[in-house]
Amino acid sequence: ALLALAAIAGPIAIALWPEGDGRGKEVNVGIAGADSGIEERLVLLAADEFSFEFTPFPGPSGTEVDLALSNDEVDVVIEPPGTLIWNDAVDRQLGAIVRFAMQEEAAAARGLSEGLTNTQVEELFRPIEIEQRFVDGAPESAQLLAIAFGALMVGFILPQIFGQLTMMSVVEEKSTGVVEVLLSHIRPRTLLVGKVIGLTILALIQLLAISLGLVGALLVADAIDLPRSVWQFVPILAVSILGGVIVYNTLFALLGSLISRQEDSSQVMMPVFIPLMGGFFVGQIALQGNVDSLAVKILSFVPLTAPMILPVRVIRGAIEPWEIAASLVILAVTIWLLIWAAGRLYEFALLHRGSRIGWKRAWRLATGKPGD
């Protein structure tokens, strides 16, 4: 509830936050000598970045100009036709704008001296509309990249949170003896599947509440313009996250059956955290760099990393439809195999007390060789 409230309140608070008086940085520009008319050109060029105040100096630069600069009464002095006078350092942003204004003013003066009218001079400086064309496809918008990063984070964090909750639930039932009562009424695989489904539904409900609140707040605050292509991405994202949470919840439930105390959890979690971390880092590479690399392509088919990498490839348009289908089919088959193997292990490991079961022993139990 707190996360959903924060997701709703954040964009609305940012949209309602006062933006100030709309004035840019205040600067004082001195004009030495005759009035050149550059003041209006400066205001037109940089009204958003600067709030200008102009100080005239009656003659060319001299003691009065130097004194005003050294006392910080003015930031820069323009001495027509082509000199800028600073105190001891150049303000790069202000200097670039002033130099551009001086170039335009000089070009306009040349045009008038050649017999052009004011209208013709203005037409020379009228900006044109520039269109862009991309041979290899247009680059992704910032909104799409932000959504892809959010999908990567969800695929990385959600399995950790609810996977560890699943494992803690299994260990608690074993340590308190509740599992013995449960197993007297239901089969081990039923207990496993029910636990995985229940916590997966809880994860999706919480994610849905936060996501709907965030998207609704962004739309109400008019803080984002969602591209139409995002709706083609949402179903694949939902299926990927669902598959990832089920896979890792099943794995963490399996890990919980190998130990009898919460203190032993860190000893068995490392093999599961390695693919999570690897998928997250490769997903970042795919998001920010080369999405067509061999490692990215391979890991988008590996069930433990596909829930993180597949959405990134989809939203960046670097995947074929058959690859999406193949990755999701492999993920579904892996879920079935994991539930089958974990269910076999559950039959022998849930009632085990004392030291944790080693991986070699767990494999034998899962493959139906408990007596070896």
pLDDT digits (tens, 9 = 90+) for 242-281: 999 999 998 888 887 777 677 667 777 788 888 889 889 9
More confident residue, 322 or 33: 322
Per-residue confidence at 329, pLDDT binned at 50, 70, 90? very high
More confident residue, 130 or 36: 130
Arithmetic mean of pLDDT, 102-128: 78
How far apart (Å, rounded) are the C-alpha atoms in residues 151 and 163? 18
Q: Are 124 and 111 in contact (CB under 8 A)?
A: yes
Q: What is the pLDDT of residues 155-210, one digit of tens each?
A: 888 998 998 888 888 888 877 778 778 878 888 788 888 888 999 999 888 888 88
Arithmetic mean of pLDDT, 228-249: 82
Per-residue confidence at 224, pLDDT binned at 50, 70, 90? low
SS3 75: coil
DSSP conformation letters of 115-173: T--HHHHHHHTPPPP-----TT-PPPPHHHHHHHHHHHHHHHHHHHHHHHHHHHHHHHH
Per-residue confidence at 47, pLDDT binned at 50, 70, 90? low
Q: What angle do CA 331, 337, 342 make, to 5 degrees?
A: 120
CA diameter of the chain: 104
DSSP conformation letters of 268-287: HHHHHHHHHHHHHHHHHHHH
Of the candidates 30, 37, 35, 42, which has an alpha carbon nearest to the alpha carbon of residue 86?
Answer: 30
How far apart (Å, rounded) are the C-alpha atoms in residues 348 and 12? 53
CA dihedral of 24, 27, 28, 34, whole degrees rounded to 10: -70
pLDDT recorded at residue 95: 82
pLDDT recorded at residue 330: 93
Query: Between the ranges 32-46, 236-250, 283-297, 310-324, where is the mean pLDDT highest?
Result: 236-250
In the chain, where do the E strands start and end?
A: 25-32, 50-57, 76-79, 83-85
Mean pLDDT of the chain: 79
pLDDT recorded at residue 332: 92
More confident residue, 211 or 14: 211
Q: Are 69 and 86 in contact (CB under 8 A)?
A: yes
